[in-house]
Amino acid sequence: MRSRFSINNYSNLGQRAITALFGALIIVGGCLYSDYTYFLVFAGILGFSQMEFYKLSGLDGMLPLRSFGTFLGLMIFCLTFMVEKEHLSMKYFYLIFPIVSLTFFIKLYKKTDKKPFTGVAYTFLGLFYVAVPFSLLNLAVFSVDATYNYQIIIGCLLILWASDTGAYFAGTKFGKTKLFERVSPKKSWEGFLGGAFSAIGVAFILTRYFHVIEDWKWLVIAGIIIIAGTYGDLIESLFKRSIEIKDSGKGLPGHGGFMDRFDGLLLSAPFITAFLKIF
C-alpha cells in the first residue's frame, strides 16, 4: 500500500528545506506578479503572525483582543498600502486613532477580565510589534518614485534569508562561543558571522542585478538586517522564554510559527524604511 506524503516523515532539516522552498515560491511569486498579490501575501503573513502573538500572550495569562487586534493590524496595513498607491489621501490615516480607541470601549464591557488595562496594553503591543513593521514595508516598496517596485522587497527578503541560512549552518557546524546565552543558548558568534558573510555576499550579488537603488544602499540594508535582524531574533526568543515555550506556533513545519520565521523582519523593517525614506 502506497504511503501518503507527509512532511512529518522528514527530518527537521528536511522539513525546513521543504517549507522554505514552498514559502519562498509563494512570497517571491506574489511580489513579482503585481503589487496586489504582494499585498495579499503580506496581509496573510501579518494576520497569522499577529494571531500567534495574541495567542502566546494568552498563554502568559494576558487577555488581549485577539480578533479585534488582528483586524486593527490588517486595517493599518491596508491603509498604508492604499495611501502609498495614491488610491486614498493621507487624511484617512486619521481613521486609525478613533478605531484603535475602540479597544477601550470593548474592554469596558468584558465582565470576566480582571485586568482590562493589561489586555489593552498587549493589544496595542501586538500592533506596534507586528502590524506596524509589516505596514512600514508598504512605505519601503513605494519609496522610489512613489511606484511599487518588487526589487526592494525581494532584495530585502533574499538578504534576510541568506543571513538566517548562513547563521543556521555556521552555528550548527562551528558554533561554540555563545552570543547571548541568557536569552538563546543555541545562538553563537560563529553563527552570527556566518549569517553576516552570507547576507553581505547576497547584497553584492544584488548590486549586479537590482538597480532600483544605488549599490551602496544594498550594503547598508544588509548591515541593518544583520544587526537588527539578529536582535529581532533574540527579542522573540526572550518573549518565548518568558512564557516557557520553544516555538511561536506550528504553522510552518521545521520553522515553528510565522513569528519564528519573520522575527528578523519585524525589527529590520522600521530601520530599512527609515533609511530608504531619509536617503
Each residue of 230-260: pLDDT tens digit?
999 999 988 888 887 776 767 666 567 888 8
Residue 31 has pLDDT above 90, yes or no: yes
**Mean of pLDDT values over 191-216:** 96
How many Å is the Cα radius of gyration of the chain?
Answer: 19
Q: Which comes out higher in pLDDT, residue 223 or 183?
A: 223
Scanning the chain, the segments in alpha helix (DSSP H) are 12-33, 35-59, 66-84, 96-108, 116-126, 132-141, 150-174, 189-209, 215-242, 258-278
Backbone φ and ψ for 247, nearest 5 degrees, come out as: -120, 155
**Other beta carbons less than 10 A from residue 7's beta carbon:** 12
Q: List C-alpha distances in Å: 60 to 108, 235, 260.
A: 21, 16, 18
Q: How confident is the prediction for the chain on average, in pLDDT?
A: 90
- Euclidean distance between CA atoms 230 and 248, whole angstroms: 17
Residue 1 has pLDDT above 50, yes or no: no
What are the grid coordinates assigned to 178, written together? 555563545
- The confidence band for 275, taking pLDDT boundaries of 50, 70 and 90, is very high
Residue 263 has pLDDT above 50, yes or no: yes
pTM: 0.90
User: Taking the domains of the chain in order of start, what are their residue ranges?
Assistant: 12-278
Backbone φ and ψ for 257, nearest 5 degrees, come out as: -105, -175
What are the grid coordinates assigned to 45, written together? 503573513
Q: At what angle do helices 258-278 and 150-174 cross, to 10 degrees?
A: 130
**Mean of pLDDT values over 65-79:** 96
